[in-house]
Structure 1
Amino acid sequence: MEFMGDLIVNFSNWIWGPPILVLLLGGGTYFFIHSGFIPFRKMGYAIGLLSGKYDDDLAPGQISSRQALSAAIASTVGLGNISGVAIALNMGGPGAIFWMWIAAFVGMATKFYTCSLAIMYRGHDSAGVIQGGPMYVIDNGMGKKWKFLSYIFCIAGVIGLLAIFQANQLTAVIQAVLLEPDTIEETERNRWIIGIILMLMTAAVILGGIKRIAAVASAMVPFMVGIYFITVILIVSKFYSGIPDMLELIFVDAFTGNAVMGGAVGSVIIVGARRAAFSNEAGIGTAPMVHGQSKNNEPIREGLIAMLGPFIDTVVVCTLTALAILLTGVWETTENDGVKLTLSAFELGIPGIGKYLLMLSVLVFALSTMFTYSYYGHKCMNYLFGADKADYYNYFYLITIVVGAVASLEVVVSLVDGMYAVMAFPNMIAAIYLAPKVKAATKDYFARMKQKQL
């Protein structure tokens, strides 16, 4: 078992080398420039689209664009923002946060392209239901000779989109805040019990399909972001005098790597990009699967709405988490990692109730992510084996929640990271290949919108 764990960790470290970084950061930068810096130019317009004034209930699809964004954010604004930021600070120092920001802005351009394509090249599953996602983009946009990329994406998705990381970190915070076990045996027993409870709670939602998942996610997302936002603002305001110093530290360390790895800037960039990909999933191909289900006949409109995800996720929520950890100083004074490091910051920042507020946030964040991930994996299973077999995935998914609750954090993170990297290759190759189609559609869309206003 230990050999298997080492194999997973080594594979993850190997695949997250220069090729995947060039693909995600280089590809995202290409989209950023190719689009004419659309994340900056059209941010306000994209926010305006959330009003729903263009929603069309008669358009093909299963959910509204706003529900699609909520579901996508529910899967991304999660433990990657609480635990992933802590892991980034542990592994890459404060400078890793700067590279998370850079990855977020190029990630906005990536999501614009990939989610526009998800509507542009929708397909149908074996039951005749309309579907969107990288596998259908590859099939319908690139042609059958590229179908092997669809299979690679879906096989990696079936494994990488399990909720093992969420189950692991949620179990850790519940133990630390509520149970405080005294012995290793007690810790292990608690992990099994919590894992089974989480499995049953998840089952109640995911067995209802995408409509129930989207409805629950759109109700939970504003609530969870609001609670977390207010709590972190309280901590940051308590230590507000240190904000300029911490921001300076982030910028200086991004280009010197002084806080970690003997000044290895390349290592800091890798950690930042890796954690940003884990946090906002830009380029991985998950968001196009849910945005592809939107009741929307305008690919560019969907892409603009999807573009907001990485900004909310990484630039806003991850930055607040990073400031809470840096300002309280716990990143230098504790051996804790993952969610326990963030927990230390909350306890120091708001003594007495801070840890309970974080536990509430973690609970809602983790559950919302666990609900949405099941849909992604189900969709990959549907593509590989047909609609009639896809529901079996839900039962496999539920069982692995218990496995994630009792597994080692390093192995869990490495397995998910490794499969994310494998998923990114087909998704990014398709998006780069079809980028001219998005560029042409963007010009056409805004020309038509301008004409309507005249």
Structure 2
Amino acid sequence: MEAINDFIAAALPYTEWPMFLLLIGGGLFLVVYSKFLPYRYFGHAIAITAGKYDDKNAKGDVSSFQALSAAVAATVGLGNISGVAIAIHDGGPGVVFWIWMTALIGMGIKFYSCSLAIMFRGTDSDGKLQGGPMFYIIKGLGPKARPLAIFFAICGLFGFLGVFTANQFTETFMSVVEPSKNLYAMSDMNWKWTIGIFLAVITSFVVFGGLTKIAKVASALVPFMVAVYLVAVIVVMVMNAGLVIPSLKLIISEAWNFDTLVTGGFWGLVIIGVRRAMFSNEAGLGSAPMYHGQSKTDNPIKEGLVAMLGPFIDTILVCTFTAVVIILSGAYLEDGSGIVMTLSAFETTLFGVGDDLLMVIVTAFALSTLFTYSYYGVKCLSFLTNAKIGRYYNHYFVVMIVFAAVASLELVKNLIDLSYALMVIPNMIAVLLLAPKVNRAAADYFKKMKR
């Protein structure tokens, strides 16, 4: 495993510039090019999500709300709880500011990419309606762009594994429950194998049920788990009200700290923020368009507006609350990273039982993420082969859950970071080239809406 990690770590620096230029530079272009449209119609997006403009006769498998829930289920998870902690550990409190900036830009990217997912839908070998980067790359840019779609799908076979979630859930269980002491006296490694197998079995019951089952579970679980988590962090902030504003001020002041100790200085600080934000809300990655591409709507702009709510919910709200709790508790000053840091913050601020509460929340987050993530990989393998073979991805996905439970955090983090950075390249190239088509569709949509 160490050799694999060394290879991935050596490759990561070469992906930084392309990812940054396409994600931030391209994202800023889209925000300006749209004339800030996603932000101006934020309220309208909420109304669409609530079902006010649903068309019962539209093609698709799931409602816009279910698609958003499934997409958010894949993003609102351990990336928000431990991913933020990892970012603060690696870059200090100031990294949160760059997570915010990336998320705001990500709202614009999601508007365009998920609009394209409806605009250029296709069918798989079973004749079922499909959407996502592979389809808008080929149908939007033409057959010559097929190598971009193939490259995206190959990277997705690794990027859409649930390894980070499985790894961090295992760490949470080991830290809070301490099974070797409190349950059954066997080695920590054997416990990790046991946890990995348990997660794999539970995940199997849902992922082999297909998109409809995933969407139903996600739409029921996501609102509940987000609400419980937000109530917990709001209680912490109310109890420590005097420390909230200083924590936010520290985030902003440290964002411009050119003397930061993080590797790479100020540039390294920004890169960490971009990576962790992309891991948190997946804007620019191309995953959300796969779910939104199967929504019951025939209007691409409506779905794009719904999709752009994802980064706001996932990053602007959930990640910020996590960061504030970590900072005001002082946990960021301790020697720990990932979920351990967040557990320490909750235990310190919630009467000594916050880590137990977080264990329950993390379980819901982990399961919902695992349930939804597998579907992305199925679509990638189906594109590369056919729908029948594509379903075998779930077997690979489940096996890798067990592997992740016993692997190091460094290995799974590097694997996901590299895969994500590579997936951004073909997806953002396609989104930028096809943006004019979205603008024309948006002009028509809002013109009709005003009548």
- Determine if the TM-score, normalized by the shorter chain, exceeds 0.5: yes
Q: Which residue of 1 aligns with 2:319?
A: 318
Q: Which residue of 2 aligns with 1:70?
A: 69
The answer for unaligned runs of 5 or more in structure 1 is: none
Q: Which residue of 2 aligns with 1:116?
A: 115
Which amino acid is the alignment partner of residue 199 of structure 1?
A
What secondary structure does 1:336 align onto? coil
Aligned residue runs from structure 1 range 210-359, under 5 A = 210-261=211-262, 264-332=265-333, 334-359=334-359
Alpha-carbon separation, structure 1, partners of 2:163 and 2:211: 20
Q: Which residue of 2 aligns with 1:172?
A: 171
Deviation at 1:229, TM superposition (A): 0.3
Identity rate of aligned residues, in percent? 50
Q: Which residue of 1 aligns with 2:433?
A: 433
String of CA shifts for 1:148-187, please: whole Å, max 9, x gaps: 0000000000111000110000011011111253699711
What secondary structure does 2:450 align onto? helix
Paired residues of 2:176 and 2:355 also in contact (CA < 8 A):
yes
What secondary structure does 2:14 align onto? helix
Which amino acid is the alignment partner of residue 171 of structure 1?
T
With over 3 angstroms needed to count, the CA separation of the structure-2 counterparts of 1:357 and 1:12, relative to structure 1, is: same
Q: Which residue of 2 aligns with 1:126?
A: 125
String of CA shifts for 1:194-217, please: whole Å, max 9, x gaps: 000000100010100000000000
String of CA shifts for 1:26-65, please: whole Å, max 9, x gaps: 1111111111112321111111112212222321111111
Deviation at 1:259, TM superposition (A): 4.6
What secondary structure does 1:261 align onto? coil
Paired residues of 1:126 and 1:387 also in contact (CA < 8 A):
yes
Paired residues of 1:257 and 1:263 also in contact (CA < 8 A):
no
Alpha-carbon separation, structure 2, partners of 1:268 and 1:208: 41
String of CA shifts for 1:343-375, please: whole Å, max 9, x gaps: 000000012321111111111111111111100
Q: Which residue of 2 aligns with 1:412?
A: 412
- Of 103-112 and 5-14, deviating more is 5-14
Alpha-carbon separation, structure 1, partners of 2:129 and 2:264: 50
Which amino acid is the alignment partner of residue 409 of structure 2?
L
What secondary structure does 1:359 align onto? helix
Measured on the aligned residues, the alpha-carbon RMSD in Å equals 1.4
Q: Does 1:190 align with 2:219?
A: no
Alpha-carbon separation, structure 1, partners of 2:273 and 2:258: 12
With over 3 angstroms needed to count, the CA separation of the structure-2 counterparts of 1:145 and 1:263, relative to structure 1, is: closer
Which amino acid is the alignment partner of residue 70 of structure 1?
S
Alpha-carbon separation, structure 1, partners of 2:156 and 2:186: 34
String of CA shifts for 1:61-80, please: whole Å, max 9, x gaps: 11111000000000010111
Q: Which residue of 2 aligns with 1:11?
A: 11
Paired residues of 1:68 and 1:291 also in contact (CA < 8 A):
yes
TM-score by length of 1: 0.97
String of CA shifts for 1:262-300, please: whole Å, max 9, x gaps: 892111111101100000000000000000000100000
Alpha-carbon separation, structure 2, partners of 1:339 and 1:257: 27
Alpha-carbon separation, structure 2, partners of 1:166 and 1:14: 25
- Of 396-405 and 238-247, deviating more is 238-247
Aligned residue runs from structure 1 range 148-163, under 5 A = 148-163=147-162
Q: Does 1:200 align with 2:201?
A: yes
What secondary structure does 2:351 align onto? coil
Paired residues of 1:93 and 1:257 also in contact (CA < 8 A):
no
Deviation at 1:108, TM superposition (A): 0.1
Alpha-carbon separation, structure 1, partners of 2:162 and 2:91: 25
Q: Does 1:56 align with 2:51?
A: no
Paired residues of 2:18 and 2:425 also in contact (CA < 8 A):
no
With over 3 angstroms needed to count, the CA separation of the structure-2 counterparts of 1:111 and 1:178, relative to structure 1, is: same
Alpha-carbon separation, structure 2, partners of 1:157 and 1:185: 36
With over 3 angstroms needed to count, the CA separation of the structure-2 counterparts of 1:185 and 1:13, relative to structure 1, is: farther
Which amino acid is the alignment partner of residue 357 of structure 2?
L
